[in-house]
Structure 1
Amino acid sequence: MSPNRRSFVDPLLEWYENRGRHRLPWREPGRSAFEILIAEILLQRTTASAVAGAYAPFVARHPTPEAVVAARSDELEERIAPLGLSKRAAFLERCSGRLLARHSGTVPRRRSELLALHGVGEYTARSVQIHAFGDGIAAVDTNVRRLVARFVGLEPDSSEVAARADGLVPPRRSSDFQHAMLDFAAAVCTPRDPDCDGCPLAGGCDSAETAADG
């Protein structure tokens, strides 16, 4: 067993199983690739708690690109109005239109094709690859960057963080692992006053060791 598996991956997954946010609606088993894509677009710069209320009604009404394109723009805007970001309705319309025009309504797996969709950047594309297709990669946002950088002893803005995050991913549990990193960074490894004393990763964490030495 590798040191990272023993000190980071396994305890993080165990923490997630016991304390993760399993009830978020886009994490439900059986969500389609399109429903996952919708969630990732809505989650951009928006909290999970805010998206949770708007997501389920939206995908129940518009579960496919065809349904999004067929809907009136004002209806789409109304359904995501609680997020305060009605412009994302236009993102969803244009993204769905491109899926129909170029991919027969199917969400592509290749990152280059995902990045060509309106409203999809690197993080969103990687998240779709992870949660829809099980690709063994990581999606690095501010929270994941902070967690991984602290653990391996890098500055958060280091160009190495993303590669180190990819290297930590357990290939068969990439979706759970991604969710675990996000939830753990939000609840334990917080920007200020992280709970290092009660952290199950502290034994192998470079930042925790540095703090203890100091």
Structure 2
Amino acid sequence: MKETEKISFMQSRLLKWFESNQRFFSWRQPNLSNYQIIISEVLLQRTKAETVSKLYDQFITKYPDWDSLHNAILFDIETFLRPAGLYKQKASRLYMLAKYMVENEGKLPKERSELNKLPFMGQYIANAVELQIFNKRMPLLDINMARVLERYFGPRKLSDIRYDPYLQDLALKIVDHSRSKEVSWAILDFSASICKKRNPLCCSCPLSKNCLYFKLHSIDC
């Protein structure tokens, strides 16, 4: 099967699966502010969505905008985020982002080269900003999306997904779809419930027909 056909198959099957199996989180609701979107993506880095969901709404209530976050005490932000893990790193990133946003009247640069210069922006958050705020077809590529793509298509060459050209190119092709945001969310939800790191539920997988991992492991369903 050609790569384009495998991509189309994956997109259609996962979007269909997503309709009945998607997870519902506050940060996926429509009409969120840019602030709410960015906060969610920072908190989600290397942290389970279920963990973030327990404190996201409270965080937005306590710090409803960039001004309130900028005026906060860093230690207080760290204390609030402690249950989320990596709390010092996340608190520092949010604090510096708040300073930048207040100084720039809440405006985000639209050029990727300028976006990358924001304090502690990082590839993942920059992709999320372009996808959810600027409506560009960019992937929410993290280790979970990488796992799904590699099992289905084949492994990457480099250990760091940020610099692997094969995986980066593949992720862009996967989300090159009119429902780009839903494709990314579908893959992330799929990685959490079906294509899990350990003991994936291959016999319940809608992609197994064309999945390389399924074929190589000769899974008997």
Deviates more, 1:182-191 or 1:69-78: 69-78
Deviation at 1:5, TM superposition (A): 5.0
- Residue identity opposite 1:27 in structure 2: R
TM-score (norm 2): 0.85
Deviating beyond 6 angstroms after TM superposition, the runs of 4 or more aligned structure 1 residues are: none
CA shift digits 1:96-141 (9 cap, x unpaired): 111222x321233333333222232111111221122221121321
Contact 1:9 1:170 in 2 (8 A): no
Q: 1:131 to 1:194 in 2, by over 3 A?
A: same
Indicate the residue corresponding to 2:189 in structure 1: 183
**SS, match of residue 178 in structure 2:** helix
Deviation at 1:181, TM superposition (A): 0.8
Unaligned runs of 5+ in 2: 159-163
Q: Matched residues, percent identical?
A: 30
- Superposition map of 1:191-210 within 5 A: 191-210=197-216
- Residue identity opposite 1:139 in structure 2: L
- Residue identity opposite 2:65 in structure 1: T
Unaligned runs of 5+ in 1: none
CA RMSD after TM alignment: 2.3
CA shift digits 1:30-72 (9 cap, x unpaired): 1112211111111122221111121112113323212211334
Indicate the residue corresponding to 1:28 in structure 2: 29
Indicate the residue corresponding to 1:124 in structure 2: 125
Q: 1:155 to 1:21 in 2, by over 3 A?
A: same
Deviates more, 1:118-127 or 1:2-11: 2-11
Question: For this pair of structures, how many residues does the alignment match?
Answer: 211
Q: 1:108 to 1:60 in 2, by over 3 A?
A: farther
The answer to whether 1:80 aligns with 2:86 is no
